[in-house]
Structure 1
Amino acid sequence: MNYEPGGADRGDTYLLEDGSEPRSSRRRWIIAALVIAGAIAIALWFFRGGHNPAPEQAAAQSGSQIPTVSVAVPGRGTVRDVISATGSLAARREMPVGVAGEGGRVTRVLVEPGDWVKKGQVLAAVDNSVQQQTAESLAAQVRAAQADADLAKSQLDRAEQLVDRGFISKADIEQKRSAAESAQARVRVAQAQLQETRARNARLDIQAPEAGLVLTRGVEPGQIISSGSGVLFRIAKGGEMEMLAQMGEGDLDKVSVGVPAQVTPVGSDESFKGEVWQVSPVIDPQTRQGIARIALSYNAALRPGGFASARIMAGANSLPLLPESAVMSDNTGNFVYVLNDKNEAVRRNVKVGDVSDEGVSIANGLNGSERVVLSAGAFLNPGQKVDPVLKTLGK
């Protein structure tokens, strides 16, 4: 092994023949490096605070985890008490039309269901050939009676001119006067008989008792009809319709005449305005339900016998109104989250009123002055602190 002279005395490093350092020298370098690395790690630990952070720093770290939620103060507004009901559609005033006269063979039917008719319009014509001949015969009798009356009146007038001259006695005058009056009476009788026959003939045809909409037709040409033929036509007077809304006695007690309603026929997206015109004075003892009759104007979509639903505006209350996202429910019922003075979420059980496009009315549980969480309530826990952002409802 070679080495430089005097190297040991000067502290020089010994070198092996291949020029590398001995193992003992490398070990010392590794130990020194480890010591230095440990010192640096200890220094960093103390520098970063290897002890509890300051209260301000802990609060800042905690504050970064507080969720931000939207809240609103709902106040109290006018909320209508809406009652939902179902029922059938019908003509408000349905008029059954049958045979008013003697009847006979139907010659023509002049209307179809869906036609509008006027008062007195002929719906179906009945053969009146025999009755027409009778009327003509009576008219001839009237003319004959009138001729006799005219002759009797002329004779009376001539006799009255001769009585002063003594050619005719007063007895003859009284006789002629009586004959003239009798002839005039026979005229009136004949006229009355003719008018009666003409009236009967006019009643042979089936006529509309009032203006309205023809709903059904139950007669055909050639059919023999009489007073026992039953209903031949059904007419909705004026085309007016109604809905017979069935509801429980509790809801029926809230409804009064004149309140507005919205009626939607089954299978239609269109709603029709109406108003309650009659409230049933009795309750069905079997179903415990009553009927509110809702008047409706004519529309082709309102077909009698059809089924419909109704929303009746029974009244109005001053209640808080919230969006649906603010109200949640679980096994115990409906609830919302309100914030206390420390901005902590507090569960508040509520009773939900009517649900409409405007939102959910709160019938009980809120007075309207609370800060209510509008959304994200499902992710909150009671007592959790939040960062509130106040919103204005309706905007």
Structure 2
Amino acid sequence: MNYESQLLSDSAVVIDEDESRKRRRRLLLLGGGAAVLLVTAAAWISMRGDTAATPAPVAPAPVVTVLQPGQSTVARTVTATGSLAARVDMPVGVVGEGGMVTQVLVQPGDWVRAGQVLATVERSVQTEQGRSLAAQVEVQRASAKLAQAQLDRAKALVGRGFISAADIDQRTATRDQAVAQVRVAEAQLAEQRARTGRLDIRAPAAGLVLTRSVEPGQIVQAGGNALFRMAKDGEMEMQAQVAESDLAALRAGNGAMVTPTGSAESFAGRLWQVSPIVDPQTRMGFARIAIPYHSAIRPGGFASATITSGTGNAPLLPESAVQNDEKGSYVYIVNAKDQVERRTVTVGQVSAAGVAVTSGITGAEKIVTSAAAFLTPGQKVKPEALKAS
């Protein structure tokens, strides 16, 4: 009995432990499920509450600076390119008989005065001829002096009856002939001296020597190639090629700014001649712009020019307001709804004051002056007037 009682007692203990273990497992499962439900419910309530309380965020409209430019007085200009040259290009060559060059006295870049000797030609033969003619002059003068003395003595004897009037007339004619021979000899001597003088190659006017194509020992002759080229008074010009449509707007006296290629400096000039013809092939004409001498102005070089042809009224914008793409130049304006609109424009003169717009806007619009490159047509913006600097 005791053994059976002990066995039953042990079995009861085992059964109680199993039941207790199962009960704890059920409680844990129930507790975990309840916690998950509570967390899910709390999250759902939180999300519903946030959605109802906070609206979706809206991006703010960008602030842009705008300007109403109005109308300004701007210069009308014509741009052109062309070559530089001496305004009066003077070729200097041999005007005498020619011969061998003995001296060259100037170099390209030298300034010379009118009549200054540039080079000399050998003249030994001409010098001797001059001496011979000078001697002939002396001979003729002696003959004239003798004829005058004979005439004077004859006149003293006329009253005594020793000399007839016919003899006086003969001696007078002889005297006059001798005087004439003196004049002929003097003229021949002067001619020879002039010929000899022409062997000096001289500057026809004051100016700047541009080129030299002669050396000592070279044989030169009249009618040959020019030995020197000069710019009269050093004055230069630009021979600007201008489109046919622009020639009509140009007049002699218009101001211009000339910029040689490779130079950062511009030079003030004045239009002095407008071509009366147009090339039928290129449809271009020449506008000649006079420029004072400067070392940067080199004949034969290339340059660009901006010619002022008059004045007019046009909106004037800062350069940052004008954009460019493959379609051309344009600006952005802000309409009454504060939306961006693209407006195609035609650009005129660009100066330190700004960019003149010749068509596309009237000047009453609100033009975007900054951040225009980041805008798109139709975009909402917040315009802010440009503050005067």
Normalised to the residue count of structure 1, the TM-score between the two structures is 0.81
* Partner residue, 1:317: 312
In the alignment, is residue 267 of structure 1 matched against residue 262 of structure 2?
yes
Q: Could you say if the C-alpha distance between residues 270 and 51 of structure 1 is closer, same or farther in structure 2, counting changes exceeding 3 Å?
A: closer
Q: Distance in 2 between matches of 1:334 and 1:199?
A: 69
Which one of 150, 162, 168 corresponds to residue 167 of structure 1? 162
1:89 to 58, 65, 84: 84
Between 350-359 and 234-243, report the one with greater CA deviation: 350-359
Name the residue aligned to 2:74.
79
Of residues 279, 301, 321 in structure 2, which corresponds to 1:306? 301
Counterpart residue number, 2:9: none
Task: Describe the shift of the 1:163–1:328 C-alpha distance in structure 2 as closer, same or farther (beyond 3 A).
Answer: same
Q: 1:100 maps to what in 2? A: 95
Secondary structure, aligned partner of 1:315? strand
CA offsets 1:86-125 (integer angstroms, 9 cap, x no match): 2221111111111111112221111111111111111111
Task: Answer yes or no: is 1:232 the counterpart of 2:227.
Answer: yes
Q: Deviations over 1:13-64 (max 9, x none)?
A: xxxxxxxxxx99xx99x989x99x989x979988x994799xxxx9xx97x8
Structural mapping, 1:197-276, within 5 Å:
197-276=192-271
Greater displacement, 76-85 / 116-125: 76-85
SS of residue in 1 equivalent to 2:103: strand
1:187 corresponds to which residue? 182
CA distance in 2: counterparts of 1:82 and 1:130, whole angstroms = 62
Among all aligned residue pairs of Structure 1 and Structure 2, give the percentage whose two residues are the same amino acid.
56
Deviations 1:205-263 (A, max 9, x none): 21111111111222221222221432111111111111121232122333221212222
Letter in 2 for 1:358: A
1:262-320 deviations in Å (ceiling 9; x for gaps): 22222222222212211121222222222211111222222221222222223322110
> 1:142 aligns to what SS in structure 2?
helix
Residues in 1 aligned to 2:376 and 2:299: alpha-carbon distance in whole angstroms: 54
Distance 1:215-1:331 versus aligned 2 partners, 3 A rule: closer
Q: CA deviation at 1:184?
A: 0.9
Q: Cα distance 1:334–1:144, how it changes in 2: closer, same or farther (>3 A)?
A: closer
Q: Which deviates more, 154-163 or 184-193?
A: 154-163
Alignment of 1:114-129 (within 5 A): 114-129=109-124
Alignment of 1:9-48 (within 5 A): none
| Secondary structure of residue in 1 paired with 2:152 | helix
Aligned to 2:22: none
The CA deviation at 1:335 is: 3.1
Q: Which amino acid aligns with 1:259?
A: N
Matched, 1:151 2:121: no
Compared CA separation, residues 166 and 82, structure 1 to 2 (3 A) = same
Query: Secondary structure of the equivalent of 2:102?
Result: strand
Structure 1 residue 348, shift from structure 2 partner: 3.0
User: Counterpart of 1:12?
Assistant: none
Distance in 1 (CA, whole Å) between partners of 2:51 and 2:241 is: 76
Q: Secondary structure at the match of 2:159?
A: helix
Q: Determine the C-alpha separation between the residues in 2 that align with 1:383 and 1:126.
A: 83
Unaligned residue ranges in structure 2 (runs of 5+): 1-25
Q: TM-score when scaled to structure 2?
A: 0.82
- Which structure 1 residue ranges, 5 or more long, are not aligned? 1-22
Q: 1:189 deviation in Å?
A: 0.8
1:325-360: CA deviation from partner (whole Å, max 9, x where unpaired):
222345655432333344443443323333344332
SS at match of 2:156: helix
Q: Distance in 1 between matches of 2:46 and 2:204?
A: 110
Counterparts of 1:239 and 1:379, CA distance in 2: 53
Deviations 1:103-151 (A, max 9, x none): 1222111111111111111111111111111111111111121122122
Mean alpha-carbon deviation: is it higher for 211-220 or for 323-332? 323-332
CA RMSD in angstroms comes to 3.3
Secondary structure in structure 2 of the residue aligned to 1:281: coil
Tell me, in whole angstroms, the C-alpha distance in 2 between the residues paired with 1:332 and 1:204: 67
CA distance in structure 2 between the partners assigned to 1:254 and 1:289 by the alignment: 14
- Tell which deviates more after alignment, 294-303 or 154-163: 154-163
- 1: CA distance, partners of 2:270 / 2:319: 29
Q: Which residue of structure 2 aligns with residue 348 of structure 1?
A: 343
The verdict on how the C-alpha distance between 1:309 and 1:124 changes in structure 2, with shifts beyond 3 A counting, is same
Q: What residue identity is the alignment partner of 1:348?
A: R
Q: Deviations over 1:364-384 (max 9, x none)?
A: 121112222211234444454
Please state if 1:372 is matched with 2:367. yes
